[in-house]
Amino acid sequence: MKLIDYYYLIKPIVPRRIQLLLRRAIAAHKRKSTTDFWPISPRAAQAPSAWRGWPENKKFAFILRHDVDTALGLKSCLNLMSIEKKLNFKSSFNFVAEDYFIPPSLRQSLIESGFEVAIHGLKHDGKLFINRKRFEIQARRINNYLKEWGAVGFASPSMLRNFEWTTDLDIEYGCSTFDTDPFEPQSEGMNTIFPFSVINKITDRRYVELPYTLPQDHCLFIILIEKDNEIWKKKLDWIAENGGMALLNTHPDYMNFKETPCSLEQYPVNYYIDLLEYIETKYGGQYWHVLPRELARFWKSSMLEDGNFIVTPGAQYAKLKQQDYWPKQKQMATAPGVKIWIDLDNTPHVPFFIPIIRELERRGHQVVLTARDAFQVCELAEEKGLQYIKIGHHYGKNPFMKVFGLLWRSAQLMPFCLHQRPRLALSHGSRSQTLLCNLLRLPTVEINDYEHARTIPLARPRWQIVPEALLCEKLYTKPKRVRYYRGIKEDVYVPEFKPDLSLREELRLGYDEMVITVRPPANEAHYYNPESDLLLVALMSRICRTPRVRAVLLPRTHQQEMTLRTDYPGWFKDGKTIIPPRAVNGLDLIWLSDFVVSGGGTMNREAASLGVPVYSIFRGKTGAVDRRLEQEGRLTLIGSAEEISTRIQFTRKDSSRPPDNKTRPALDDIVNYIEEIIQTERVRSHRREAAIEAE
């Protein structure tokens, strides 16, 4: 191994701050002796002998790419894309395939917006080129991702490279070099501001290499601690003068998009914005701005034989079968059948899990159920024909009793768990189940759609499956164990909805009356804000004084119903407000309503999924899903009593429109992720058992 390989072996045990301080000290010392060839190496301006110029007679080429090193950078990709779109630029986003989860919807969004995605290695650990056999194994996996993503570019982490080996990759271009950069681990520059071709003379495999020619942002602002972007502008002007390719590689991981002080490893995003504005102001119409793949295809078609090129010596390849290391493509069912334990903790979990249970059983898994005797969980589960064991109940809003109830129900669940011996525990936020399974070292999966929910550390799940709207939110599970599904959780079961037209008659609601379904706030939840009650009172007052309007009120508990009847008897006078005498299907009630007003989350999102107008009087911390629905015009957030009158429209909805029953991707996404987790945990368990046997 080379010295640099030993560095990457010990790097994980060196604290990040110490790494950074050491790199800064080394770079400051090295900078004194590199002024003759950094940031500008005069030799790099030499054009290829057969060079005929850029398309459309442009003065120079301008390419943007972004290496996304961490999950933190992943969260900023859409912000960065939005900035570039606003300024009429486009770029390639290069992702580390196995260090963090990359939602397919994010890749799709980038591509549909005219951007590009590429591979930035499997892991950002500097070990890709340690030995030939390791590389061959990883190359097969990289090729699998390239095919799955429809990508044609590869950027090696830390700019480490081996031209000969890289020809094994199914790529059209590489981005693992630079014209000059003495501060990189593998610091030998290519001394050209033009692309060049890499050709393996034995296999005749080839690709176009696109070296970055403007200093990387991390080097410039984090390592060298530059306080402005003048070096970028100076180098850009020099490249433009010499008719080369200005290729800039930046990292959303290190950009500060907020108006707050930068951390040790951040720089203001305005440095980047200012450069884009500078190039357009000074060189508008003079540069050829395309995606990396477009430039590579131009170079291949016009300069492959006559331009710059590197011919590798070739090598003898180890004969490894692809299927021994990575499947050619994922099948629908990736995991053999196992027993999965689902705990129904709250009323909305019943309709949500029914399609998931059906699909898991269809794929060969066995599902066992427990249910908490709280709200209307058990009543609704029985109505839906679910076979479950009733264990535990709700302990009210007193914080002490909540903690006691959490611990006590975990203890109550233990005999069931020990008897059933499930391989995976699944819930939509059952803290008792998660706490017990963590103690028993049983893998836990929590499906969740509200990022502000709190729990004690021992009750945090190993895996989380959340809506893609939470992509930029901080969750309490490690990023590599978070999976993002498309849409919202209500998309799992709403497509199966068939209206029960008899409910209107059962509730004695006239066809000539406006019907408003009202869900009071969850006043026993930890996120409860009393402001929601003030909005509820203002709403009900408006309903009561508006003729030919009826309210269907859905209290969360019997105690809440008694309190409302006692405190506000006028609401119920002459049948103005009714409370259904039994647990009714919430979707049926929403569908017959002209609009919905709710102090919670699920009913709001069910209405949004059905296309029924909905207003939220929830005054806790607004979740990312609700913010997304508001942006899409599917939900209106009410912030004050005044807005009850100004923003809520008392109008009848179009009752002739049928429900939208089109298939949505949420169900398949969730079940596929569950199976992926089962397979991952199976491998992890086998490795642990092998390690114990080895001892």
Q: What is the DSSP string of 492-511?
A: GTGGG----TTHHHHTT--T
Q: 597: which DSSP letter? A: E
Residue 470 or 643, more confident: 643
Q: What are phi and psi of 356, to 5 degrees?
A: -65, -45
Q: Provide the CATH topology of domain 3-31+58-312.
A: TIM Barrel (3.20.20)
Does CATH place domain 498-646 in 3.40.50.620?
Answer: no
The pLDDT tens digits for 667-676 are 999 999 999 9
Q: 91: which DSSP letter? A: -
Structure tokens at 67: 């290496």
pLDDT at 12 over 70: no
Cβ neighbors of 188 (< 8 A, separation 6 or more) are none
The pLDDT tens digits for 526-570 are 677 889 999 999 999 999 999 999 999 999 888 899 999 999 999
Percent of the chain with pLDDT over 70: 92
pLDDT at 430 over 80: yes
The pLDDT tens digits for 84-120 are 999 999 999 999 999 999 999 999 999 999 999 999 9
**What per-residue confidence (pLDDT) applies to 332?**
43
pLDDT band at 11 (very low <50, low <70, confident <90, very high): low
> What's the mean pLDDT in 55-74?
96
CB atoms within 10 A of CB 660: 12
pLDDT band at 9 (very low <50, low <70, confident <90, very high): low
The pLDDT tens digits for 185-197 are 888 899 999 999 9
**What per-residue confidence (pLDDT) applies to 329?**
33
**Positive/negative CA dihedral, 490, 491, 496, 498:** positive
- C-alpha pair distances (Å), 205 with each of 106, 171, 303, 307, 608: 31, 10, 16, 17, 52
Residue 396 or 528, more confident: 528
Which CATH number fits the domain 339-494+669-694, given the four candidates 3.30.70.100, 1.20.58.220, 3.40.50.2000, 3.40.50.720?
A: 3.40.50.2000
Tell how strand 92-95 and strand 116-119 pair up.
Answer: parallel
Side-chain-side CA neighbours of 540 within 13 Å: the count stands at 26
pLDDT band at 10 (very low <50, low <70, confident <90, very high): low
Q: Give percent helix, percent strand, percent coil of the chain, each to the nearest 5.
A: 40, 15, 40
Cβ neighbors of 57 (< 8 A, separation 6 or more) are none
CATH 3.20.20.370 boundaries in the chain: 3-31+58-312
Q: What is the distance between the alpha carbons of residues 619 and 599, in angstroms, rounded to a whole number? A: 8
DSSP string, 274-288: HHHHHHHHHHTTTEE
Q: What is the distance between the alpha carbons of residues 558 and 376, in angstroms, rounded to a whole number? A: 10
**What per-residue confidence (pLDDT) applies to 472?**
67
Among the residues of 363-430, which ranges form H helices?
377-383, 399-420
Q: What is the distance between the alpha carbons of residues 667 and 673, in angstroms, rounded to a whole number? A: 10
pLDDT at 6 over 70: no
- C-alpha pair distances (Å), 334 with each of 327, 489, 688: 10, 23, 21
CATH 3.40.50.2000 boundaries in the chain: 339-494+669-694, 498-646
Q: What is the distance between the alpha carbons of residues 520 and 600, in angstroms, rounded to a whole number? A: 7
Which of 104, 102, 99, 106 is CA-nearest to residue 122?
A: 99
Q: What is the distance between the alpha carbons of residues 25 and 43, in angstroms, rounded to a whole number? A: 28
**What per-residue confidence (pLDDT) applies to 690?**
66
pLDDT at 491 over 90: yes
Side-chain-side CA neighbours of 380 within 13 Å: the count stands at 23
Q: Which residues sit opposite 616 in a β-bridge?
A: 598, 637
Q: Where is average pLDDT lowest: 281-290, 361-370, 622-631?
A: 622-631
Q: What is the distance between the alpha carbons of residues 540 and 641, in angstroms, rounded to a whole number? A: 11
Is the distance from CB of 538 to CB of 503 less than 8 angstroms?
no
Is the distance from CB of 606 to CB of 589 less than 8 angstroms?
no
Q: Is 13 exposed, middle or buried (0-12, 13-18, 19+ CB in 10 A)?
A: exposed
Q: What is the distance between the alpha carbons of residues 53 and 608, in angstroms, rounded to a whole number? A: 54
pLDDT at 328 over 80: no
**What per-residue confidence (pLDDT) applies to 309?**
61
pLDDT band at 283 (very low <50, low <70, confident <90, very high): very high
**What per-residue confidence (pLDDT) applies to 440?**
95
Q: 623: which DSSP letter? A: P
Q: What is the distance between the alpha carbons of residues 235 and 244, in angstroms, rounded to a whole number? A: 11
Is the distance from CB of 535 to CB of 616 less than 8 angstroms?
no
The pLDDT tens digits for 174-233 are 999 999 999 998 888 999 999 999 988 888 899 999 999 999 999 999 999 999 999 999
Structure tokens at 641: 């009593």
Residue 406 or 6, more confident: 406
> What's the mean pLDDT in 565-584?
91
Q: Where is average pLDDT lowest: 137-141, 476-480, 526-530, 588-592?
A: 526-530
Residue 560 or 314, more confident: 560
pLDDT band at 402 (very low <50, low <70, confident <90, very high): confident
Strand segments (E) across 513-589? 514-519, 549-553, 577-578
Q: Please, what is the average pLDDT of the chain?
A: 88
Output the pTM of the full model: 0.59
Q: What is the distance between the alpha carbons of residues 481 and 542, in angstroms, rounded to a whole number? A: 47
pLDDT band at 324 (very low <50, low <70, confident <90, very high): very low
Q: Where is average pLDDT lowest: 110-119, 311-320, 495-504, 589-598?
A: 311-320
**What per-residue confidence (pLDDT) applies to 297?**
94
The pLDDT tens digits for 405-427 are 889 999 999 999 999 999 999 99
pLDDT at 322 over 60: no
Q: 310: which DSSP letter? A: E
